[in-house]
Amino acid sequence: MKKVRIANGQGFWGDSLEAPVELVRRGPIHYLTLDYLAEVTMSIMQKQRARDPRAGYARDFVGLIERVLPDVVEKEITVIANAGGVNCDACRDALLGVVKRQGYGGRVKVGVVAGDDIMDRLDRLIERGNTLENMDTGQPLAEVRSRVQSANVYFGARPVAEALGKGARIVITGRCTDSGLTLAPMIHEFNWPADAWDLLAAGTIAGHTIECGAQCTGGNCLIDWETIPNLADIGYPIVEAGPEGSFVITKHEGTGGRVTVASIKEQLVYEMGDPREYITPDCIADFTTIKLEQEGPDRVRFSGVKGRPATAMYKVSVSYSAGFKAIGSLVYAWPDAYKKARAADGVLRERLERLGLKFDEVLTEFVGVDACHGPLSGEPSPDLAEVALRIGVRSDDKATVERFTREMAPLVLNGPPTVTGFAGGRPKVEEIVAYWPALINKSEVAPQVSISEA
């Protein structure tokens, strides 16, 4: 039976630069998928493109292709990445430049899946009755329209599979579901029809399992974490898929990490909502139907997955400007480290008050005491060696946040004693670009698939 090996070498923009190279070089794979887009990445890319019309995509991806193109061509590996950001054309041109420079012209087709960017059409779409209300709060988008920085539809696996069908060796997309990057090669290789809901659900769950990279192969794994071998050389995940919808999650032989039923379960519940309703543009996958089995060392088999018909909607990811924030910290040492940190917090808050500064929020945390688990942390030891005081503020007014950053450093000289940790200088003022999830009818947008050659 035909087996297709699909790897994931990038769980988010900023993940290991070496992982995809290792995946290509240390064992057999047919497809390499890479996820570069976090929820607010698009807004960063919009800003980059506004400054430079040739920017606005994941440049890391072009650097990666420079390194692995010879292997990709020789071993006939197909690469699928949502690296196009808000400028798929520029990303494609950069890739074609690499292909040409390395002498592979005529041998590498680059496919592009675009059409996800609805920023330019936003007002028309709203006029046509698409309220794009926030899925969490129910507010219509009109309320923050003037502050919107980017708006993109999440496409599924279908258009990527179409590009593969047209012979693309590298496929880049704009916004696309993470799981769709993995499902697409299965649709392409096994000719899965658009209403094969169980198969599409299986491929979607395979995609969900590997979309966070090493988080299913022993990374960030709580169970027996100390005994997980060789995290320094952790193997990134590979799906070994068959046409009947059953698949195995594994990693290259000789790499570190661990693939067990337990490590896989941890990833399956990651960012889970209703387990019966994992909704993508391709189908609805039911996580309560998955059967897991340890088939061999570092091999976990999935079977029995059921799915249901896709909905009529695409998810839309909108980003909008939501004020400013700054976060600063100072470290207090024994004795009475926690007491000093609390006293310093009181002093700083009183000074902010005297200055008449109004914030939407001032949040104080004591790292080493309760920053992670809050009131569940219990009473700290009276003899703590050190505590970091971490204070964050948020406001619509940039000057107010800036003023806060000037009040943090002076505490080193004019507040409680044995304090350090200010070498980094003043806290940085950051613009907050917030995420607005919405839905849009599938009939309002259409993916555009194109193929280019160097």
Partner 1 sequence: MAKIKLIHLAHARSGDKGDTANVGLIALEPSFYPILVENVTAARVKEHFRGICFGDVERFEIPNLGALNFLLHKSLDGGGTISLKTDAQGKTYSSALLRMEIDVDDRLSKEILGG
Of the residues 265, 308, 339, 351, which one makes contact with partner 1 according to CB under 8 A: 265
Minimum CB–partner distance for residue 170 and partner 1 (Å): 30
Q: Does 412 bind partner 1 (CB under 8 A)?
A: no
Among 52, 143, 274, 383, binds partner 1 (CB under 8 A): 274
Q: Using the rule CB under 8 A, is 313 a contact of partner 1?
A: no
Query: Which member of 21, 196, 262, 347 binds partner 1 (CB under 8 A)?
Result: 262
Is 266 an interacting residue with respect to partner 1 (CB under 8 A)? yes
Binding mask 368-387 for partner 1 (x = CB under 8 A): ---xxxxxx-----------
Segment contacting partner 1 (CB under 8 A): 12-20, 71-79, 157-165, 429-437? 429-437
Note whether 398 binds partner 1 by CB under 8 A: no
Residue 40 interacts with partner 1 (CB under 8 A): yes or no: yes
Interface characters, 190-209, with partner 1 (x: CB under 8 A): --------------------
3-state secondary structure string across the chain: CCCEEEEECCCCCCCCCCHHHHHHHCCCCCEEEECCCCCCHHHHHHHHHHHCCCCCCCHHHHHHHHHHHHHHHHCCCEEEECCCCCCHHHHHHHHHHHHHHCCCCCCCEEEEEECCECHHHHHHHHHCCCCCCCCCCCCCHHHHHHHEEEEEECECCHHHHHHHHCCCCEEEECCECHHHHHHHHHHHHHCCCCCCHHHHHHHHHHHHHHCCHHHHCCCCCCCCHHHCCCHHHECCCEEEECCCCCEEEECCCCCECCCCHHHHHHHHCCCCCCCCCEECCCCEEEHHHCEEEEEECCEEEEECCEEECCCCEEEEEEEEEEEEEEEEEEEEECCCHHHHHHHHHHHHHHHHHHCCCCCCEEEEEEECCCCCCHHHHCCCCCCCCEEEEEEEEEECCHHHHHHHHHHHCCHHHHCCCCEECCCCCCCCCEEEEEEEEEEEEHHHCCCEEEEEEC
Check binding of 236 to partner 1 (CB under 8 A). no
Residue 226 engages partner 1 in binding (rule: CB under 8 A)? no
Cβ nearer to partner 1, comparing 95 with 438: 438
Taking CB under 8 A as the binding criterion, the range among 83-91, 189-197, 319-327, 398-406 that sits at the site for partner 1 is 319-327
- Find the binder of partner 1 among 21, 292, 313, 409 (CB under 8 A): 292
